[in-house]
Structure 1
Amino acid sequence: MKHTYFIQLLTTLLLMTAISSCTQSHIIPEVQTDKQVTLFPDYTGVTFPSNIAPPNFRIMEEGEEYYTEIGNKNKVFVTIRSKEPSVVIPVKEWGELLKQTTGNTFYIRIYILQTGRWTQFPDITNIISPAPIDPYLVYRLIYPGYELWNQMGIYQRDLTSYREIPLIENQSIEKGCLNCHTFCKNSPETMMIHTRGEVGGTLVYRQGNISRLDVNTPEMKNGGTYAAWHPGGRYLAFSVNEIRQYFHTTGPKAVEVSDSESDLVLLDTETNRLISSPSIYGKEWMETFPAWNPDGTMLYFCRSKAIDKNTPLDSIRYDLCRISFDAGKENLGTPECIYEASLKGKSVSFPRISPDGKYLMFTCSNYGNFSIWHPESELYLLNMETNEIRNMEEVNSNDVESFHTWSSTGEWFVFSSKRQDGLWAHPYIAKFDNQKGTAGKPFVLPQKDPDFYLNFTRTFNLPELITTPVKIGNELIKQTRNNKETVSWDRK
């Protein structure tokens, strides 16, 4: 009998606790306001992929207590009551919301206890797209100044969670500099990473093999810098640049980076031969930032008139050009200018073509080509079918918009922006409608800590979306210590 009595008592206590918990979590507002609540990061009115990690946030309103409810028209998935304004969404409940809300909207409902009364704010409405995003993002983390240049690395983030792992850090390669990385059609099966310093070279991974190359020859003054994979995975287009840095003591641009020389070459990764042509390699023009169209028949790039030591930096402007390429014959055609931005007082950098070949996104600034230091730089879009060019006002801000890449399907893109404070570049993601040629409101990459972007002191550089994880980080580090292979020059 005693045993039965205690079971009944325990059951009653548990039931009373459950009822009490439900009562505690239910809020009856005494005040309703039309004022929109402010969240940091700004996860309001955006479209999320169906496979993104929970977008944790901080409520930027004063209060004694906070109550947050997240759900769709059928169900409440998350309720959080706390004296702290930080909202950390449980991973399991967020996963259920993603599954049951795909293709539809969900709401974030916030109540705040202010001066002893609960105030209900207008619901925040977001959308869960049925389209997933490529689940991995690769980027370089670097301090924005130059005193700590030897503390950098290239990292891989799982977008479905918060897991970040280093692919290669310069602490593991004698503190050498890590530069550009790029992938062929969003796949880590064909990739490239630059390293500088004692173990410098170009690491090329394709068909299961890693090579460490010196993309330079005695006939060339400059080595390979910015790269783009031909969609066939055999050729790498490189710009060969002489880059100079300038430091200003006053003004909004503390640093200026500019090319004094630049040309284009193609690396045949099967034979380690460099291919070029007088049409893209010579003293008359400076060519840089190569990018291929999806079938590999056209190489797009940025081009400016050659300069000398007396040329003012703010007079250097790049146009958007292209040149045909016959992979079978390894022949390059004649350059063609498709957007003469210099006539409009503008300069083009970072052309990137959507996987369906319908759109070309590029960065536009007032001059030069290193747009990460230009607060006025913005994303522009060229419709390849109509030749219409427009400012992507729906994603641009009052500060830097710079490097950008498409997802493998073209339904998403990621770009670097300094919109938070003008100093740190963070990766922003936006949904793209390839029928209308428009983008949704961008959102910053979700982090586990809602205050992450308030405290993190490194900048995200060159974000690249990939479909599967890179699994050869240790092999890349080992390869930096192997002999560097040379390339031959086949200038046509």
Structure 2
Amino acid sequence: MNKMSLIQSIHYLLIAILLQSMMCSCSHSAITPNAQSNKPVALFPDYTGVTFPCNIAPPNFRITEEGEAYYTEIGSGNRTFITVRSQASSVILPPDKWEKLLKQAAGSSIYIRICILQNGKWIQFPEITNIISSSPIDPYLMYRLIYPGYELWNEMGIYQRDLTTYKETPLIENQSVEKGCLNCHTFCQNNPETMMIHIRGAVGGTLIHRQGQTSRLDIKTPDMKNGGTYAAWHPTGRYLAFSVNEIQQFIHSTGPKAVEVSDLESDIIVLDTETNRLLTSPAIYGEEWMETFPSWNPDGNMLYFCRSKAVDPQTPLDSIRYDLYRIAFDPEKATFGTPECIYPASEKGKSVSFPRISPDGKYLMFTCSNYGNFSIWHPESELYLLNLESNEIRNMKEVNSADVESFHTWSSTGEWFVFSSKRMDGLWAHPYIAKFDSQMGTAGKPFVLPQQDPDFYLTFTRTFNLPELLTAPVKNRDELITASRNNKRTVSK
């Protein structure tokens, strides 16, 4: 165990002891308020006015108002399920009582009533109302944990979190792959049985798990300068689209963006996983354009991607802008059509990244920033939504903030989505979840992934990267690590 892991383990042990102490000290007797306040009570994290799925872990929080003691009631209708009274401002929800509340309130609202003892008087604050959706969210979330700078890239891992509890388990850590860079992971329609993980370094390669078999491939032929990196599964699970990128990182000594990442060149290829053969077309592979971040539609007959004019070493980074394109694909003949621009973001002084289509095929969500396509480093990046039926595009103001909104994925039903945001402090990206109304094309207020310790996000020093929702846990961890050490299989054109 390294020094950082030991420190974190001690930290979490102390938290567990503190939380247990607080729960044991809570009194469940109701109090009578002496006065009413018109001021909304502030919570951290902000779990006010949000919609929770009916299978989410307890959203523990801290009341950020000053006081000598705190009293909280949480319930639905005329029934109170949880009461917490303590001198501590943290509110820890008993999992069994929270689960009962979720079952009772599914499809309706819950209330949070808070009283604070201030100057010897109990002050009651306005009631908080949240919604419990009857629609569950996919119960697992996969993400990469990495330090937000560039110095400690060799300490990272890919982890899965059970969203119904707080349990987090490692899928693969780079200490298991000779400290290689765990670059990307992706799944076919939220299914852990068809997945991909890309690794850079001494044991670099692409791990592909499909139909119960795991293999390590080199997604590159001798005539290709760069190998496959950013990937997307065809809905059939047979084809895997990759962008082949030459990525350059720039470190700035001054200015608001300390790190900048850019493509020097990129193209798109498609791997036929049944034949280990690479497919492509001059329409999406060549020197005139840069194509990246592929994404299939649910029918599998259209491939969406981001495209920019090719650059040279003298091209200013802030002049590189990507438009949103798509190209027809015939899965039977494995042939491509003609590229079509569906959103010329560059004409509006914007740049597109991460196109992801909802499972019903009605909406395409993407990230929009001022230039480039590595939006995690751009504070101005925001989520946009394209209605594929009406072709209307709008800024998703209901979920965006004053800081970074970046990588996002849909749930398997399209009723939820998760995205990375740096809104909390501008440094670390955290996973936020939001309910999506497919009929209206709108989202609810997002909430950060619940943690057992309400102050978790104030002390955790790694960033959550590439959050992906899964319908079940990945169970082949040992098989993936073993495959990462096997000889790489080659592909052909």
TM bucket normalised to smaller:
over 0.9
State how far apart, in whole Å, the 2-side matches of 1:211 and 1:357 are: 31
* Cα deviation digits, residues 166-202 of structure 1 (max 9, x gap): 0000011111110100000000010000111111110
Q: After superposition, what is the alpha-carbon deviation per residue over 1:326-379, rounded to whole angstroms, capped at 9, x for unaligned? A: 011110010000000000000000000000000000000000000000000000
- Per the alignment, residue 416 of structure 1 pairs with 420
Report what 1:272 is aligned to.
276
Distance (whole Å) between structure 1 residues aligned to residue 304 and residue 28 of structure 2: 61
Task: Answer yes or no: is the 8 Å Cα contact 2:375–2:381 preserved in 1.
Answer: yes
Aligned match of 1:372 in 373, 376, 384? 376
- Equivalent residues in 2 for 1:288-437, closer than 5 Å: 288-437=292-441
CA contact (8 A) 2:330 2:336 kept: yes
One-letter code of the match for 2:155? Q
Amino acid at match of 2:362: K
Once the two structures are aligned, what percentage of the paired residues are identical? 78
Deviations 1:89-130 (A, max 9, x none): 000000000000000000011000001110000011000000
Q: Which residue matches 1:145?
A: 149
Code of the aligned partner of 2:319: S
Q: Provide the rounded CA distance (Å) in 1 between the counterparts of 2:149 and 2:482.
A: 29
Alignment check: 8 A CA contact 2:28 2:84 kept? no
Is residue 446 of structure 2 the alignment partner of residue 442 of structure 1? yes
Matches within 5 A, 1:28-107: 28-107=32-111
Measured against aligned partners, the alpha-carbon deviations of 1:400-440 in whole angstroms (never above 9, x if no partner) come to: 00000000000000000000010000000000000000000
Q: Note closer, same or farther for the CA distance 1:208–1:225 as it changes in structure 2 (3 Å cut).
A: same
Task: Give the alignment partner of residue 193 of structure 1, picking from 184, 192, 197.
Answer: 197
How far did 1:147 drift? 1.6
Measured after TM superposition, the shift of residue 73 of structure 1 is: 1.1
Moved over 6 A (4+): 21-24
Deviations, residues 424-465 of structure 1 (Å, cap 9, x unaligned): 000000000000000000000000011100110000000000
Report if the CA contact (8 A) 2:26-2:84 is conserved: no
Q: Taking structure 1 as the reference length, what is the TM-score of the superposition?
A: 0.95
Query: 1:24 Cα deviation (Å)?
Result: 6.9
Unaligned runs of 5+ in 1: 1-20
Give the direction of change, closer, same or farther, for the CA distance of 1:156–1:24 in structure 2 (3 Å limit). closer
1:51 aligns to what SS in structure 2? coil
Paired residue type of 1:365: S
> Of 180, 198, 201, which aligns to 1:176?
180
Instruction: Show the counterpart of 2:135.
Output: 131
Counterpart secondary structure, 2:179:
coil
The alignment partner of 1:171 has SS state of helix
1:234 to 228, 232, 238: 238
C-alpha distance in 2 between matches for 1:72 and 1:246: 52
Distance 2:484 2:35 in 1: 64
Matching residue of 2:463: 459
- Pick the structure with greater CA Rg: 1
Aligned to 1:27: 31
Please give the alpha-carbon distance, in whole angstroms, between the structure 2 residues aligned to 1:117 and 1:367: 54
Contact kept in structure 1, 2:302 and 2:328, CA below 8 Å: yes
User: How many Å apart are 1:22 and its aligned residue?
Assistant: 11
How far apart are the structure 1 equivalents of 2:48 and 2:345?
A: 34
1: CA distance, partners of 2:418 / 2:217: 29
What secondary structure does 2:346 align onto? helix
2:168 is matched with 164
